Amino acid sequence: MTTYEVRAALKNHARLSQLIYPAQQVRAQEQAAAEACGLSLYQLMELAGQAVFEHIQVTYPDKRHWLVCCGKGNNGGDGWVVARLAHQQGLRVEVWTLCPPEQLRGDAAQAYRNYLAASGTAPQIAAPQHWRGELIVDAILGNNVQGPVREPQLSAINWINQQTEKVVSIDLPSGLAADSGATVPVAIQADSTITLVAHKLAPLTGAGRQLAGQITLASLTIQDAFARLAAPVAQHFNWRDLPILPARSRHAHKGNHGHLLCVGSHRGMPGALALSGEAALRSGAGLVKLDSVAEHLPIYASRRAEWLLGTEQDLSQDLSWMSTLLLGPGLGQSDWSSKLFEQCLQFITRNPLPLLIDADGLNLLADSPQTLSHDCVLTPHPKEAARLLGCSVAQIERDRLQAAINIARKYQAICLLKGAGTIITDGDQHFVCAGGNPGMAVAGMGDVLSGIIAGLMAQGLTAFDAALFGCAVHAEAADRIARNRGERGILAADLFDQLPVLINHAVTTHTSQ
């Protein structure tokens, strides 16, 4: 397979709705973008309020008694617009303002005055007592949270999180830091979030994906002007965005599609390497060899005749045979593990070849850090990422993108940081996978992912392209199963049947066009 520019194709076909912007870029450019469209910032706030109001009416048509909680800034201003529109439509709406109205400034003050003129109803300052409504609009904090949430916003967030009614957040769940995803100390748990102007990173990865609920983007009619002015930080993508893989030549033979060597599975852990090895075959790798402890070989031989098999005695010759190395699934951290790890890394250092390090291979790498190459993919989950950076898991989760960038730069490799909204970066270009679901948080899913990516690298995709393609296919496979059978009870091996369909489906779809 010729080297294929998955990354370039994703970037060339990116829609604005897939680009992710730093909050500072949104705040800096939305005014110029609005003015380029003949709009004032206040008119943009009106559009924001209308978008939120219409979203709520469509999503929750039966909810006729709302509480709108407005903060001090323009996120609160959006809330005043929503409250006014709801009042004008005859809904029962109460406003809880965290800022005495006379202290409001700018567009937010204007939105408040328009609300008061339309409703004649003064807002309440204190937390509602014995409130019995149906829906809460979170207009407390938006994309401009600075530092840990202070009072009275903190108490308001905690009060809302204790209610049972539906919660709709404007722009971001209040308290969620737009770019890092930090929630210090707490953020709103929303049922849905209407993201304004452009996507920010936090709701798309890590805890933010849970806090935001269902995300809807409202670009407020300024998307084209905004895209010309602002610089995105990352791109959101999924399986449907993947470019076609080149069809295979008619006279291909198994040697054309890579010699993948999978090293791992210390004594008692045969399953990990089997999952990776099968995923690699299902992803189109030509020859796949498993090197593990001798006692596992009969298990592998009885499970899949297609594999070549070896032990640590064969490792030296197998390293010379291979074109791509997958190191780590089930490897363990024993002396046996360390010996194989060192032998593999020393070989790769002398003979640079595509390499994927996963699982305990990452823990062993963390114990003896060394720079690798951009033809290497590291696939840590947050705990392994913390080991690789020598920090805590909490620090990883407080800024997932920066953590992935730090790993990519420290080890000079592609970093795929697993978790909700997997992040893939080479340290300069950053992608967030939109696919995936909590049903993937089960044993073996990581082994399958590493097998898919290594299988694609064996077929000639670059490390970055294989990580992007493999991550999206892995997530889509699990999402299809979840759509059919629900999220609980998905087994890692269940993905195998989906893999050829998804990889070849891309080929079939595009070749038919």
Ligand X SMILES: NC(=O)C1=CN([C@@H]2O[C@H](COP(=O)(O)OP(=O)(O)OC[C@H]3O[C@@H](n4cnc5c(N)ncnc54)[C@H](O)[C@@H]3O)[C@@H](O)[C@H]2O)[C@H](O)CC1
Rule CB under 6 A: choose which of 21, 29, 68, 71 binds ligand X.
Answer: 71
Q: What, of ligand X, K ion, none, does residue 169 touch, CB below 5 to 8 Å by kind?
A: K ion
284 is in an annotated binding site: no
Using CB under 6 A as the binding rule, whether residue 48 contacts ligand X is answered as: yes
Q: Among 52-60, 138-146, 268-276, 502-510, which window interacts with ligand X (CB under 6 A)?
A: 138-146
Q: Within 13 Å of residue 254, how many CA atoms lie on the same side as its CB?
A: 9
Nearest distance from C-beta of residue 71 to ligand X, angstroms? 5
Considering only CA atoms, which of 237, 201, 199, 203 is closest in space to residue 468? Answer: 237
Rule CB under 6 A: choose which of 51, 78, 192, 427 binds ligand X.
Answer: 78
The b/e string for 216-248 (b: 16+ C-beta within 10 A; e otherwise) is bbbbbbbbebbbebbebbbbbbbbebbbebeee
| Cβ proximity to ligand X, 171 vs 375, nearer residue | 171
Q: Among 135-143, 268-276, 380-388, 447-455, which window interacts with ligand X (CB under 6 A)?
A: 135-143
Q: Within 13 Å of residue 406, how many CA atoms lie on the same side as its CB?
A: 15
User: 257 is written with which tokens?
Assistant: 């599609």
User: 46 is written with which tokens?
Assistant: 């009106």
Using CB under 5 A as the binding rule, whether residue 138 contacts K ion is answered as: yes
Using CB under 5 A as the binding rule, whether residue 174 contacts K ion is answered as: yes
Contact 49, 141 (CB under 8 A): no
SS3 for 217?
A: strand
User: 358 is written with which tokens?
Assistant: 């996963």
Considering only CA atoms, which of 359, 388, 337 is closest in space to residue 449? Answer: 359
Residue the block writes with tokens 């898919």: 452
Q: Which residue is nearest to ligand X (CB)?
A: 142
Considering only CA atoms, which of 412, 310, 285, 428 is closest in space to residue 357? Answer: 412
| Cβ proximity to K ion, 138 vs 447, nearer residue | 138
CA 284 to each of CA 8, 22, 112, 263: distance values in angstroms, whole numbers, following the listed order: 22, 38, 60, 19
Q: Among 132-140, 178-186, 349-357, 392-400, which window interacts with K ion (CB under 5 A)?
A: 132-140
Rule CB under 6 A: choose which of 45, 215, 345, 389 binds ligand X.
Answer: 45
Rule CB under 6 A: choose which of 97, 110, 143, 283 binds ligand X.
Answer: 143
208 is in an annotated binding site: no
Order of strands across the sheet with 65-70?
A: 92-97, 65-70, 135-139, 166-170, 192-196, 214-218
Using CB under 6 A as the binding rule, whether residue 153 contacts ligand X is answered as: yes
| Cβ proximity to ligand X, 169 vs 406, nearer residue | 169
3-state SS of the chain: helix, strand, coil percent to 5? 50, 15, 35
Using CB under 5 A as the binding rule, whether residue 23 contacts K ion is answered as: no
Rule CB under 5 A: choose which of 170, 211, 281, 340 binds K ion.
Answer: 170
Using CB under 6 A as the binding rule, whether residue 107 contacts ligand X is answered as: yes
Task: Give dist(CA 125, CA 136) in Å, integer.
Answer: 16
Rule CB under 6 A: choose which of 1, 6, 93, 197 binds ligand X.
Answer: 197
DSSP 199: B
Nearest distance from C-beta of residue 438 to K ion, angstroms? 24
Task: Give dist(CA 153, CA 131) in Å, integer.
Answer: 18
74 is in an annotated binding site: yes
422 is in an annotated binding site: yes
Q: Among 169-177, 351-359, 395-403, 484-492, which window interacts with K ion (CB under 5 A)?
A: 169-177
Using CB under 6 A as the binding rule, whether residue 102 contacts ligand X is answered as: no
Q: What, of ligand X, K ion, none, does residue 144 touch, CB below 5 to 8 Å by kind?
A: ligand X
Q: What, of ligand X, K ion, none, does residue 48 touch, CB below 5 to 8 Å by kind?
A: ligand X
Q: What, of K ion, ligand X, none, does residue 150 touch, CB below 5 to 8 Å by kind?
A: ligand X
Cβ-Cβ contacts under 8 Å for 379 (sequence gap 6 or more): 356, 357, 358, 362, 416, 418, 446, 449, 450, 453, 467
Pairing of strands 234-237, 430-433: parallel
271 is in an annotated binding site: no
348 backbone φψ class: left, alpha, beta (φ>0; ψ -120 to 50): alpha
Q: What, of K ion, ligand X, none, does residue 147 touch, CB below 5 to 8 Å by kind?
A: ligand X
Nearest distance from C-beta of residue 168 to K ion, angstroms? 9
Q: What, of K ion, ligand X, none, does residue 146 touch, CB below 5 to 8 Å by kind?
A: ligand X
Nearest distance from C-beta of residue 55 to ligand X, angstroms? 13
Residues forming the site for ligand X (CB under 6 A): 27, 30, 41, 44-45, 48, 71-76, 78, 107, 141-150, 153, 170-171, 196-197
Which residues carry a binding-site annotation?
Answer: 74-78, 138, 142-148, 171, 174, 272, 330, 381, 418-422, 446-447
Residues forming the site for K ion (CB under 5 A): 75, 138, 169-170, 174
